Structure 1
Amino acid sequence: MKHLLVSFLKERYSWFIRQLSKKNQHCDVLKQVCYLMSFPNNNHGLIEALKNEYDVVVLYTKSCEEEARYLQNIGVSIYCLDTMSGLVRGVRQLSQSKVVIADNYFACLGDISFKETQTVYQLWHATGAIKQFGLEDKTAMKRSKKDKERFRRVYDAFDYVFVASERMGDVFKRSYGFSDEQILLTGFARTDYLVNQMEQTQQTDKRHILYLPTYRENSSLENWLLDIEYLSGQLSQQDLLQVKLHPHVTMTQKFAAKNVEWIVSTQSADDYIKQADVLITDYSSVAFDFTLANPEKQLIMYWPDEMIYNKTTGIQQAIKQDFPQPVAYTTLEILNQLNDTQKIDNQKFNQLWNTYNDGKATSRVVREIKEVMDGEK
């Protein structure tokens, strides 16, 4: 019953967006960029770089409130898509912007009648992909015919996608049904920040072990969460275990120890990634950021629930063979990898997934948009 109600509400939402789009069909296309933002800290200078060239409008969700307010203070127009007035005004901006950039799946894009003179880009919120999404998402495959048609309309709204590697380009071909011509090998703009900050990372006498697990819906913590208490007891005095859970994950009681630090879930992981000596994660794309920022530091993939996760969500085919070292399934295997003294080398992994993340991705993205704005493409 609940699913039917949600499906009905989404259909009404689609109808409402189509009506707004029709009202804005008469709008002239303006030489401006409309950026749809749903992920905090995914920008890192791109919007500012675009603002130096063109008028920029940001349509944001409430999770990006702080970042949106910062952009407003430097002269960017902002509208919150989670309010009725913001949505109405946002659809108008989408209908009249020559360039539209989205950092995620935005349902409204599938019901807007874009003009031939407009170009819509996907700027995904992750450098690479471990879990499946889009057309390959196992949960989406179980949805109704109307739901799937709605998903497809959104995928079809995009003209191009910015990616950092051929590997990620292949993922979008499978996940969104994109063609070779729609894949832009520019690099992922946000990673310029990580690349250019590498030399500034401060070294300490502690080995920082960062644990960043992803979120599971309808799954007990006992099925996938690392045994933090046991692991901390096996670490040396020179180790600091830093734990940052997903904002949607709640623990009734957090284990307290001198060598364990609990990071506030809403805090950006970027600064912790740069100073970490080891990253333990599971299906998070943070793995790609870590190896880029730390080409000689240890990445440990911990998949105790691989079979369940692959069945419910889906894991990219053959991704395991790309990782610098084997996937760990137990805490003991994690300890063995932590105690391994072999030299770490993430070069092969970075060549596959961070191919074009060289610190100059933002300039290539801006150049692509400039060509569209100036009518050269």
Structure 2
Amino acid sequence: MKKKILLGLIALFKAVYGAFYALMKLRPLRRKVVMISRQSNKLRPDFEQIGAEIARRDHTVRIVYLCRETGDTLFERLRYGFHLLNSAAQLSTARVCIVDGYCIPVSMLKHRPELYVIQVWHALGAIKKFGKQSLSAPGGRDREIAEHMDMHRNYDCVLCASRRTAAIYQEAFGVTKDKLRVIGVPRVDAILKMDRSRCRRRFYAAYPELRGKKNVLYVPTFRDGKMPELEPVLREAEQAGVNLIVRLHPLDRERLKKHPEMPPFLECDKFGTFTLMAAADAVITDYSAISIEASLIRKPVYFYVYDLEAYAETRGLNFDPLAEMPYCASKDFGTLLDKILHEPYDFEKLEAFRREFVETCDENNVVRIVDLIFSKLDERLFAAS
């Protein structure tokens, strides 16, 4: 019964939202690029890089950034409702739209043929299954609700950094092969351009007490409905004499306040994840794409997969660390710490892993993306005139 009511409310919302958008589309098109994200309330770094290159080439192109999380409180939800109205209004006169995840106004609304929509996923690849890949899995989205919400619809182009990633995105977004573009993503440029020595200097200037021991960055992926198990890993790190820096998924960091039982841990929150990745001696994750990002700067990557079978069954995996990288994957955290402290790392295998997920390993990813954007701006301009 609750599901039927929810589906009815979704249908009503789509009708009202669509009518509002139809009115907005009566206005003339503009030479405008709109970037929409619900990953953060702050300007997304990928968007910032793209916007800076557009502005450098042609300052007359209008760039609109719309970054807003859905939120949990009533006030945040109301604010997000106004954000949806503003997004529709901005999209109605735009020629190019860029998104970094599922976007209600992009997927639900009926757009002008002149609008070109580009999906720049908010991670460098996909270790775990997501989107339409996981609709039939116990830990995935409800298929009927996802279909009513038009999940991952209306994309004209999906940007990828490798052919393996492209095959994954084709399934996850439900797009045809001709919409996949292996021209790279902005974060490849950002990572390769980092001054790693400077990152380490800044890190130790801010945290001088962390000198003298191995600094290991632990990045567990988001698990719906449950927080990461930190007690055992913190205990193993203390016994091994390692500084364990924990960087939780943004959604888990938001949920921390509701979990006072979580043990205290070292966050080093003066820096972003990429800076910590560059400063650390090694990175441990499970099913997060930070493993791919770390491989770009040849940072030793390890996989702590204590719940591999359960996770594969409930959510699904595109990459099995135990099968594909057994030399640096384990279900035991202590084993990984022992490898970090006492065994040489196999960088040849890490490079093979990197090649699988990042073929566009240069600093021109944003240039290629903006080349595409301008070709579509001009193409759409000609078609509309």
Query: Fold conserved (TM > 0.5)?
Result: yes
CA drift of 1:180 comes to 2.2
State the distance in 2 between where 1:8 and 1:281 align. Answer: 40
Which residue is equivalent to 1:97?
94
Is 1:60 matched with 2:67? yes
Report if aligned partners of 1:29, 1:118 keep a CA contact under 8 Å in 2.
no
Q: Which runs of 5+ in 2 are unaligned?
A: 72-76, 202-210
SS, match of residue 126 in structure 1? coil
Deviations 1:288-309 (A, max 9, x none): 111113x1x3211111111221
Residues 214, 141 of structure 1: CA spacing in aligned structure 2 closer, same or farther, 3 A cutoff? closer
Report if aligned partners of 1:281, 1:287 keep a CA contact under 8 Å in 2.
yes
Which residue is equivalent to 2:148?
150
Equivalent of residue 332 in structure 1, options 309, 331, 334: 334
SS, match of residue 262 in structure 1? coil
Report if aligned partners of 2:303, 2:321 keep a CA contact under 8 Å in 1.
no
Report if aligned partners of 1:215, 1:249 keep a CA contact under 8 Å in 2.
no
State the distance in 2 between where 1:330 and 1:106 align. Answer: 38
SS, match of residue 161 in structure 1? strand
Which residue is equivalent to 2:253?
247
Report if aligned partners of 2:300, 2:345 keep a CA contact under 8 Å in 1.
no
SS, match of residue 247 in structure 1? helix
Report if aligned partners of 1:299, 1:324 keep a CA contact under 8 Å in 2.
no
CA drift of 1:267 comes to 6.3
CA drift of 1:22 comes to 1.7
State the distance in 2 between where 1:342 and 1:168 align. Answer: 29
Is 1:216 matched with 2:214? no
Residues 141, 241 of structure 1: CA spacing in aligned structure 2 closer, same or farther, 3 A cutoff? closer
Is 1:261 matched with 2:263? no
State the distance in 2 between where 1:96 and 1:140 align. Answer: 38
CA drift of 1:370 comes to 1.0
Residues 142, 89 of structure 1: CA spacing in aligned structure 2 closer, same or farther, 3 A cutoff? closer
Is 1:178 matched with 2:175? yes
CA drift of 1:91 comes to 0.3
Structure 1 residues 59-208: aligned runs within 5 Å: 59-62=66-69, 82-137=79-134, 138-139=137-138, 143-145=142-144, 147-151=145-149, 153-200=150-197, 201-202=199-200, 205-208=212-215
CA drift of 1:364 comes to 0.8
Deviations 1:132-154 (A, max 9, x none): 11111125866253x24235x34
Report if aligned partners of 2:321, 2:329 keep a CA contact under 8 Å in 1.
no
Q: Give the helix-richer structure, 1 or 2.
A: 2
Residues 324, 289 of structure 1: CA spacing in aligned structure 2 closer, same or farther, 3 A cutoff? farther
Residues 334, 89 of structure 1: CA spacing in aligned structure 2 closer, same or farther, 3 A cutoff? same
Which residue is equivalent to 2:302?
300
State the distance in 1 between where 2:317 and 2:31 align. Answer: 40
Write the letter of the residue equivalent to 1:244: R
In the alignment of these two chains, the number of paired residues is 350
SS, match of residue 189 in structure 2? helix
SS, match of residue 96 in structure 1? coil
Which residue is equivalent to 1:46?
50
Write the letter of the residue equivalent to 2:359: T
SS, match of residue 27 in structure 2? coil
SS, match of residue 190 in structure 1? helix
State the distance in 2 between where 1:308 and 1:60 align. Answer: 34
Tell which deviates more after alignment, 196-205 or 42-51: 196-205
State the distance in 2 between where 1:10 and 1:218 align. Answer: 24
Residues 84, 331 of structure 1: CA spacing in aligned structure 2 closer, same or farther, 3 A cutoff? closer
CA drift of 1:97 comes to 0.5
Q: Which runs of 5+ in 1 are unaligned?
A: 65-79
